[in-house]
DNA sequence: AATAAATTTTAGATTTGTCTAAATTTTTAA
DNA sequence: TTAAAAATTTAGACAAATCTAAAATTTATT
C-alpha cells in the first residue's frame, strides 16, 4: 500500500498525538494539522476505508496495526533524513525539520534501507529521538528531564524536546548537546532553576523551562 | 517563486524536448508527460500566467528565461541526487531514475548547495550527463557516438544515452562504463557493428544499436 | 433531567490536475 | 484553393484535499 503525502502526514500526526494524549479528538488533530475539524472527518473516513484507523463517528478513532506500522515507517524516514542532513551535510538541528518533512515522503523502501546503512544504522536522530529500525522497532531508553534528575550524579544528555532555533542557541551557549556529560549540583526552590556542571567548565544555572526540555540518561 | 511537482515536471519536459526537437508541440509534450493534449493546454495557460512559457494558442510555446532557469534547477537536483544514489548509496545506474524523479522536487536551495558540496561538486552524473552548477551553468563537452568516432584513436566513454537495465547489463558485460578508455579497431559495413579494444582485454564487437547510444570524448 | 455549550459530522463549494467529447484552427494534399 | 486530416483548444466533469455554514450528537451545567 502506498499513501499520499497528506495521508502520511495525518497518520504521523495521529501517531504522535496518541503518544502524548490519552484521547485523540478530531479537534486536537485538526489543530495539529492546521486544518478544520470538517477536513479531519473527511480524512478519517478515507483512512478508515484504507484500514489505517479504527473509526466510529462521534465516538473516536485510533491507528490500526497497519496504521501504526505506516506511522513508524514515516517517522523512521524523517529521522534518518534528519540524521543525514546534520551529520553528512552539516546542517544544524533547527534547520532540518522542514526539509525532513519533505524527504520523509520519498517512497522507495530500498532507498531507506541503503540510507540507513550509509549512515551506520543510527538508533537516535540529532535531537536524540529514537529512529525505528526497518521492522519498526524502537530503542527505548529510560530518560529523565533535568528538572527531575537526581543531584550529584554524572548523567548524559540524551534528547531535547523543544527543537527551536532559540533553544539551540541557548544550549549552544551552555555547551549542552546530545551526549554531553554533566552533573546537577544544586536546585533552587524559588524558581526551580538548576545549577549544572560540565567537566571543568564553571558551573552555570539553567532555568526550569530549559531543564524541562532537556532529557538525560541517569 | 515555487512550483508544484507537476509544474516542475512539465517545465523539465519542455526543456528536454526543446533540446531534441526543432519545435515542441502540444501533442509531443502530452506524449512525454503521459497525459492528453487537453491537459497540456490547461497547464500551458497556467505556466504562461506564471511567466514560465511564452504561449500563443494554436501557434506554439517555449520556455521563458525564467522557465529555463527553473528547468535547469530541476535538472541539477535530479542529477545531483542520482550521483548521490549511485556514488554514496551504491545503487546501479538503472535503479535511480524513479527515486531521483521524487527527490528532484525537494525545495530547499540550501540543501541542494550542501548536497553539491558533499558530493564534491560533480560536473557529470552517473550516466555522463552534465550537472548544471548553482548558476545553471553546464559543462559542455564535445562528444561523438561510437558509431561516429574515428578509428584507432584512444577515446574515453563519457555518457550513455539509453539508461535502461538492459543497456546497463550489456555494457557491464562488455566492461564499458563512464570513463572507460577504448579504441575502435574496425567497423563492419554489413551491419555497421563496431569492433572495440579495451586495454588488454580481447577485442569484442558491439552492435550499431549499442554504438549509437555510447558517447565518448575523442 | 433538561438545556446550553462544545464537538463532530454533513452538505455543498473551491482548487489542482486530470479526463472525454465537441468545437476550432492549422496543416496537408487532392 | 478548397476539402479532408491533424492538431489544438474549449466545455464540462471528476477525484483529492480543503473550506464554510448548518445540522447532528455528545458533554457539561444548572
pLDDT tens for residues B145-191?
Answer: 999 999 999 999 999 999 899 999 999 999 999 999 999 999 999 99
pLDDT tens for residues A146-189?
Answer: 999 999 999 999 999 998 999 999 999 999 999 999 999 999 99
Q: Does residue B183 contact residue B153 with C-beta atoms inside 8 Å?
A: yes
Residue closest to sugar C1' of C21 by CA: B38
**87-126 in chain A: CB under 8 A from chain B:** 88-91, 95, 98-99, 102-103, 105-108, 110-111, 114-115, 118
Residues of B in contact with A107 (CB under 8 A): 102
Residue closest to sugar C1' of D17 by CA: A39
**Residue in chain B nearest A89 by alpha carbon:** B114
Written as one string, the DSSP assignment of A90-145 is: ---GGGSHHHHHHHTT---HHHHHHHHHHTT--SB-TTSPBPP-TT--------EE
pTM comes to: 0.93
The yes-or-no verdict on residue A1 having pLDDT over 90 is no
**Which positions on chain C have an atom < 7 Å from some protein CB?**
7-12, 16-22, 25-26
pLDDT tens for residues B100-159?
Answer: 999 999 999 999 999 999 999 999 999 999 999 999 999 999 999 999 999 999 999 999
Distance separating the N- and C-terminal Cα atoms of chain B:
41
Q: Are strands A204-206 and A193-197 parallel, antiparallel or unpaired?
A: antiparallel
Whether B111 and A89 lie within 8 Å, measured CB to CB: yes
B59 touches strand C (CB under 7 A): yes
Amino acid at each position: 500500500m502506498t499513501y499520499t503525502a497528506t495521508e502520511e502526514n495525518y497518520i504521523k500526526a495521529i501517531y504522535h498525538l496518541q503518544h502524548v494524549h490519552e484521547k485523540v479528538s478530531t479537534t486536537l488533530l485538526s489543530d495539529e494539522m492546521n486544518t478544520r475539524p470538517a477536513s479531519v472527518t473527511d480524512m478519517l473516513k478515507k483512512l478508515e476505508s484504507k484500514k489505517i484507523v479504527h473509526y466510529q463517528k462521534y465516538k473516536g478513532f485510533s491507528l490500526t496495526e497497519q496504521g501504526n506500522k505506516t506511522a513508524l515507517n514515516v517517522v523512521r524516514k524523517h529521522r534518518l533524513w534528519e540524521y543525514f542532513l546534520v551529520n553528512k551535510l552539516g546542517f544544524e538541528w533547527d534547520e532540518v525539520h522542514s526539509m525532513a518533512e519533505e524527504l520523509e515522503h520519498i517512497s522507495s523502501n530500498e532507498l531507506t534501507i541503503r540510507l540507513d546503512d550509509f549512515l551506520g544504522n543510527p538508533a537516535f536522530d540529532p535531537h536524540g529521538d529514537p529512529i525505528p529500525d526497518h521492522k519498526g522497532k524502537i530503542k527505548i531508553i529510560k530518560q529523565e528531564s533535568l528538572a527531575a534528575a537526581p543531584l550529584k550524579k554524572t548523567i548524559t544528555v540524551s534528547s531535547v524536546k523543544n527543537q527551536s532555533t532559540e533553544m539551540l542557541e541557548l544550549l549552544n551557549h551552555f555547551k549542552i548537546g546530545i551526549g554531553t556529560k554533566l552533573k546537577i549540583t544544586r536546585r533552587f526552590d524559588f524558581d526551580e532553576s538548576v545549577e549544572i556542571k560540565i567537566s571543568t567548565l564553571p558551573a552555570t544555572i539553567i532555568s526550569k523551562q530549559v531543564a524541562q526540555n532537556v532529557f538525560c540518561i541517569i
